[in-house]
Amino acid sequence: MIDQMLAASPNLMNTFLFFTIAAAFLMVILGFVTYAILAERKVLGFMQMRVGPNRVGGRWGLLQTVADVLKLLIKEDTIPKLADRPLFILAPVLAFTPAFLVLVVIPFSENLKFADLGIGLLYYIAISGITTIGILTAGWASNNKYALLGGMRSAAQMISYEIPLVMSVIGVVLLTGSLNLNEIVAAQENWAFIFIQPVAFIIFLIASIAELNRTPFDLPEAESELVAGYHVEFSGFRWAFFMLAEYVYLFAMASLTTVLFLGGWQPIPFLGFIPGIVWFALKFILIVFIMIWIRGTLPRLRADQLMSFGWKVLLPLALANIFLTAIIKELINSF
Amino acid sequence: MLGFTKGLKYTLKNLTKEKVTYNYPDVPMEMPDRFRGIQKFYPEKCIVCNQCANICPTDCITLTGKKHPDPDKKGKIIDTYDINFEICILCDLCTEVCPTEAIIMTNNFELAEYSRDELFKDLQWLDENDTNKRKENKT
């Protein structure tokens, strides 16, 4: 259906339709973010032998995040007097928009996909890089030394970890021979890439956690030891936008991991009667759970450990993985 | 590497463990029996000896007695008995010193009020505060 719409001639009706679909999808994402935050707090609570939110919205605290967001939205909008006003306003938008844009290439099931880009994976990685600019802009525009340092630190981290992230994916691309995410899913019909490319999967998982600025790589925020980082001066809905960007990226990154390494909507053998979207959701939830689990377990890395781990461990490993994959593929092809 | 997996295993196990937190405002807290909570006062036992008011380190107890209504009997009975919980430190001395155990400790501890005036508890309030009494004082 989407393919036909993309090929259709541009008119007002189609524009309106696209807008409606995007808005509906945004609502789904917001719903995910709401309950991902709740799930995170609940799981972390259970891991720390407490119950987590349980006051607002019944015993399970189902409306806790809704109440939190409502509070953020009605908060006073403060912009520091000496801040760079246009950039300060632009920064949350710059950080959030790419997070939503990257979702367009993710195939959620056989039929539920938005754009079938030939360079889907490249698109994802290129667009997600823009968020770094948003964060750096936020740090700069705040006119606050802590915010600037925090922005620099997170930019350094995100750029450093983007490289192993991309490198680890190249193994998958080599085996598939395509950057199209649909074809990557189709190539995993028999074996998911997690079994063929386990090293790439581990590198990808670690680098994606670092990209998402989550514990143990949450130095840009470091709630318990720093003054917040790049978003110190932000409050109310501008701050909410940074949080939103972070959790939309969680959604996007977990989706991408599912697509690249867990076989997307492909079912486990003999269970093909369950629809693809359910498989996708299950694998997706597993990845999100693993991320929360890691957050609940590991302590934060030091800044120098973080950098040397990215450059001295992950990058060489990823490169070695590419070479090995290429050599093995050539050997198999030649026989 | 091993420590890493050990940690992950530990947190995973914690998921199903019993919670260490209390569900306090929903479920009342059980205090141990020697807890020094808000006093309970028995007007009929009081002999107006004034020892509690004398020993009180913060002078928060004020009491007045009156003559026994039965003219044949000696002594006094209690007329007013007030404890000011703005300054009471719940030190347990008044209940220790009381010769007839007319004032005892309970396990109740919730004293939050919207006005300071409400912290001034009178004889009737202290008489009605008769839940969770200290077990060794039970008569």
In Å, what is the CA distance from A291 to each residue of A49, A120, A220, B5?
A: 19, 24, 17, 14
Interface with A, mutate which of B2, B5, B11 (most A CBs under 10 A): B11
pLDDT tens across A101-119, in order?
Answer: 999 999 998 888 888 888 9
Q: How far apart are CA A51 and CA A36, in angstroms?
A: 16
Residue A18 has pLDDT above 90, yes or no: no
In Å, what is the CA distance from A210 to each residue of A60, A295, B29?
A: 30, 11, 43
Q: Do A51 and B7 touch (CB under 8 A)?
A: no
The nearest CA of chain A is from the CA of B132 a distance in Å of: 27
pLDDT at A4: 75
Residue A63 has pLDDT above 90, yes or no: yes
Regarding predicted confidence, which is higher, A227 or B62?
B62
pLDDT tens across A275-307, in order?
Answer: 889 999 999 999 999 999 999 898 888 888 888
Chain B environment of A297 (Cβ under 8 Å): 7-8, 10-11
Q: Do A293 and B17 touch (CB under 8 A)?
A: no
Strands (E), A26-152: none
pLDDT at A7: 77
Token look-up 């996909």 returns A113
pLDDT at A205: 94
ipTM over 0.95: no
Q: Do B21 and A298 touch (CB under 8 A)?
A: no
- The alpha helices in chain B, defined as continuous H runs, are 2-14, 51-55, 93-97, 123-128
The mean per-residue pLDDT over the stretch A311-328 comes to 94
How many inter-chain contacts (A to B, CB under 8 Å) are there?
Answer: 31
Tokens for B86, please give them: 């703005």
Domains (ranges, CATH) in chain B? 36-137 (3.30.70.3270)
The mean per-residue pLDDT over the stretch A5-33 comes to 87
Hey, which residues 243-282 in chain A have their CB within 8 Å of chain B?
none
pLDDT tens across A188-207, in order?
Answer: 888 889 999 999 999 999 99
Secondary structure letter of residue A75 according to DSSP? S
Nearest residue of chain A to residue B26 (CA atoms): A55
Residue A318 has pLDDT above 60, yes or no: yes
Q: How far apart are CA B60 and CA B86, in angstroms?
A: 8
CA neighbor of A230 nearest in space, from A32, A81, A87: A87
- For chain A, which residues make up each domain, given as ranges? 1-74, 80-334
CA neighbor of A110 nearest in space, from A277, A281, A282: A277
pLDDT tens across A256-282, in order?
Answer: 999 999 988 888 888 878 888 999 999
Residue A97: which pLDDT band, with cuts at 50, 70 and 90? very high
pLDDT at A224: 66
Residue B139 has pLDDT above 60, yes or no: no
pLDDT tens across B32-41, in order?
Answer: 888 999 999 9
Chain B environment of A47 (Cβ under 8 Å): 11-12, 14-15
Chain A environment of B12 (Cβ under 8 Å): 47, 293
The contacts of residue A150 (CB under 8 Å, 6+ apart) are A139, A220, A221, A226, A228, A229, A230, A231, A232
Q: Which of A46, A294, A298 sits opposite B15 (nearest CB)?
A: A46
